[in-house]
Amino acid sequence: MSNESDMNRRKFMEVGIYAITGAITVVSGAALTRFAVGPSFRKEKAKWIEVELDEAAESNPGFSRVVLEYEKKDGWLTASARTLAYVKRVKADEVIAISAACTHLGCIVTWDADKQIFKCPCHDGLYDPEGQVISGPPPGPLRRHKTRIEDGRILLATDTVPYGGDAHERA
C-alpha cells in the first residue's frame, strides 16, 4: 500500500512540475514575443509639416501643388517619405489640402486649372475641386490631409483622413 501511495505522490509531483514549467514557458514566450515583434505593430503619430504657398498661389483661386518630405518610422525601419498634396486657401484662417493619390490604384492625380478638376492619367478618373468622384473607376473621393494654421503658418499632417472627416484643426 505504501508503494502505491508513493507512486501517486510521485505522479502528482511530476505533473505539478510539468504544469509549472509549462506555465513559465508560456508566460516568458509571450513576453519575449511581444518585446521582439511589438514595435512593428506600433503606429506612428502624424507629423505636422509647414508648407508655404507662394504669392501667386495666395491670389490664385486654384490649388497649389506641395511636396511633404518627412521621416517615417515603421517598426524599426526609418525612411524618408515624400507625399504630394494640393493646397488651397479658402479663407484667411482656413485651407484645404487634398491628397494627390488616386483612390483607385494610388496613381498621382493632377489639377487641371482650366477645367477645375483633378485628373488621374492612368485610368481617366476625374474628381471635382472637393475631391469627389465625377467619373471613372475610383471607388471613393480623394483623401484629405488634416490642416491647421498657427501664427499665420500653414501646417499639414502627414496622415490623411477620408473625405468628410475632420480635416481642420483649430490651433
Note the pLDDT tens digit of each residue in 74-108: 766 788 888 889 998 888 778 889 999 998 888 89
Task: Answer whether residue 20 shows pLDDT above 90.
Answer: yes
CA–CA dist 70, 72 (Å, integer): 6
Do residues 141 and 90 lie in contact, with contact meaning Cβ atoms separated by under 8 Å? Answer: no
- pLDDT band per the 50, 70, 90 thresholds, residue 119: very high
Mean pLDDT of 124-149: 90
Q: Which three cell numbers stand for residue 143?
A: 483623401
- Strand segments (E) across the chain: 48-51, 64-74, 77-91, 94-99, 110-112, 117-120, 125-127, 133-135, 144-150, 153-161
- pLDDT band per the 50, 70, 90 thresholds, residue 123: confident
Task: Answer whether residue 1 shows pLDDT above 60.
Answer: no
SS (HEC) of 78-106 = EEEEEEEEEEEEEECCEEEEEECECCCCC
SS3 assignment, position 34: helix
- pLDDT band per the 50, 70, 90 thresholds, residue 164: low
